[in-house]
Chain A
Amino acid sequence: MTDVPLPYRVIRVNRETADTVTLVLAPTGPATLAPFAPGQFAMVYAFGVGEIPVSVSRIDRHALRHTIRSVGAVSAALCALRPGSRVGLRGPFGTGWELGRAAGQDLLVVAGGIGLAPLRPLVLDALAARHRYGRLNLLVGARSPGDLLYAQQLRFWTAHRGLRHCAVTVDRSADGWWGHVGLVTTLLNHAEFAPDSTTAYLCGPEVMIRATARDLVHRGLSAQHIRVSLERNMRCATGHCGHCQLGGVLLCRDGPVIGWDRADPLLSVREL
């Protein structure tokens, strides 16, 4: 289904932080969307309010998860849903992270804020096939300790699932926080990766992506091996409405995940 949303039922709502929830969604009938790949997104429709693009934050056999932060009319409506509510879904759309292309390499996953959500299915896939990859590093930046997503899971992955290096940093400390304080790029010093044999996956605010990608290039990663997920206004998600243009890139079709070799010159031009 790409034109008309397919009804899905909210089977669970996980509150992640004060302004962020994860909706666990299952189809209401026999019809179901085609399988999603990590990094791809769906257009999620809140009845009568509107539709927004949201990456999948976990892909199970029967259920899709979308982690949504309440920042606008549609996302606020979605965050207010309860189990049993219905949404409309279209998708899957866009390019994925394409983890398979990094076989044999060290993996460096860098997330900022809600950017951890689209990266979670990538981390899960990498953990499920650890032997195919080198060292898996997950670096996470959050606004404050209370804004950190999936905190329990991060600990679980490190303790029980073989996540080699997981580091979290916050912009602002708080009482009771004993972890790192600083920009997410400062975590790179402690990550374990060989720059000439590493693929990096970045998702977060554009400023954070630019700072991190440039740091990584400086450390010797090739731009093609830095995959970034970008965001622009999106309406149709099928390549027909023109809203998500970033230069010659149609982000709904050629993105949201593109190589830094392609993104760097585009993000360097203001207001492109």
Chain B
Amino acid sequence: MAGSTVTAVLDRNGLDALVEELTAQGRTVVGPTVRDGAVVLAELASADQLPWGWRTRVEAGRYRLVPRDNGAVFAHTAGPQSWKAFLHPQREKLWSADRGPDGSLSIVEERADPASYAFLGVRPCDLRAIAVQDRVLTGGRFENSGYAARRTGAFLIAAECTEPGATCFCVSMDSGPAADTGFDLALTEVVDDAGHRFFARAGSAAGTKVLSGLPHRPPDPGTEAAAHDAVEAARDRMGRAMPPVSLRDLMGESLEASRWDDVAARCLTCGNCTMVCPTCFCTTTEDVTDLTGDHAERWQRWDSCFDLDFSHLHGGPVRATPRSRYRQWLTHKLSTWYEQFGSSGCVGCGRCITWCPVGIDITEEAAALHDELAARLRQDEQNDEGGGDDRKEPER
């Protein structure tokens, strides 16, 4: 994996220096930190604010912080936020318009000056999620200029996964636990008898430059092997897995499945899954005016396909039932995303499972749809072979 890439070994001081160096470059350093009983993403003033000695215990609809006795800093799994909160913020002013006394209209773009971000501790699944949003928001005919401005030049420091959680399934989505591309620096945490340290790899020229300026040790085979083994071991410890089939085809064949009724009976259509999902990108617009009525603004804010208004058309919503809205979310994420943006929209981070208030599990739903489709195909096959003899049975 290392090849000709520049590698080094950092200790805790190296991490401190990393935050200092990026801050000195004028960057806003964002990383995981403990707040309100969760590991959240926030601006960091120093590496001390990282979640040293904390890990998370997650299940469907459940998230708890628990102490980690070995003092590891990257032992937590995905928290309630993702990096989209910074690259594709929840609320953003797009432009403002003023009407002059003569009725004239002037409209000016009014986006906030983009911060120069450095993201510290980006999980491989989230690294993939950023790449997915890059394609959605900047890869088409039109570019979302606000996203592009924040994303361009953002410095990404990946943290490879060595302690996957019970809701993780990045292996199924081929997005982890190792970080292969899309980062400036990648860190792999190693805690063993030889000490607490980080195997660091540079993934870009900017990353190489930063790494060489940090206090570091040359890479030793022991640390590199330990880092590699820890990530490989994580690969076998995924808490969840998707059915090993083409999810794209599965969803395409399942639009009329009865499983949608089952999940709709549990789904509250609260939209939590869309808020925590690192790739969900949907937004709506709000037009506001001030009291004079001569100044108006256009704001963009996150929207959710679970919201009734999302599909509103003339008289009412196109997707009026919870069944259709859950189906929209799942089939978009796993299937129609390919048609729209050339990849899956799911990266296997498990957030939607953890943060669903009723514990709906995307992997369980996919498995149930797969079972239903398999049963249907078996039935069709029997009917084809059966001919006239079988037909008598159901009539009795």
Contacts and interface: CB of A to CB of B under 8 A. Distances in A.
Contact of A272 (B282, B287, B313, B324): B324
Interface in B255-277: 255-256
A147 to B, nearest CB: 16
Give the secondary structure class of A's interface. loop
Interface string A76-101: 00000000111110000000000000
Given A71-B314, A233-B313, A271-B319, A243 B141 contact: no
Interface string B281-310: 111110101000100101000010100001
A88 B340 contact: no
A231 B313 CA distance: 8
A253 B380 CA distance: 37
A180 interface: no
Interface in B309-344: 310-314, 318-321, 323-324, 328, 331-332, 335-336, 338-340
Contact of B97 (A47, A232, A233): A47
A86 B104 contact: yes
Contacts of A239: 140-142
Interface in A40-97: 45, 47-51, 71-72, 84-88
Contacts of B320: 271
Contact of A88 (B97, B109, B137, B324): B97
Given A4-B94, A6-B107, A86-B105, A240 B281 contact: yes
A28 B318 contact: no
B190 interface: no
Contacts of A6: 107
A269 B256 contact: yes
Nearest to A237: B142
Contacts of B106: 7
Contact of A4 (B108, B331, B336): B108
Nearest to B310: A243
Contacts of A272: 255, 318-319, 324, 328
Contacts of B144: 238, 240
B145 interface: yes
A50 B94 CA distance: 13
Given A240-B283, A248-B340, A253-B140, A4 B313 contact: no
Given A3-B94, A50-B287, A85 B255 contact: no
Q: Which of B107, B109, B284, B328 has the most CB of A within 10 A?
A: B107
A232 B283 contact: no
Nearest to B98: A47
B359 to A, nearest CB: 25
Contact of A243 (B145, B311, B321): B311
Nearest to B338: A248
B285 A51 contact: yes
A220 interface: no
A233 B310 contact: yes
B136 A240 contact: yes
B287 A232 contact: no
Interface of B: 94-95, 97, 99, 103-109, 136-137, 140-142, 144-145, 255-256, 281-285, 287, 289, 293, 296, 298, 303, 305, 310-314, 318-321, 323-324, 328, 331-332, 335-336, 338-340
11 contacts: A5-B95, A7-B106, A28-B105, A51-B287, A86-B104, A241-B303, A243-B303, A247-B331, A253-B141, A271-B321, A271-B324
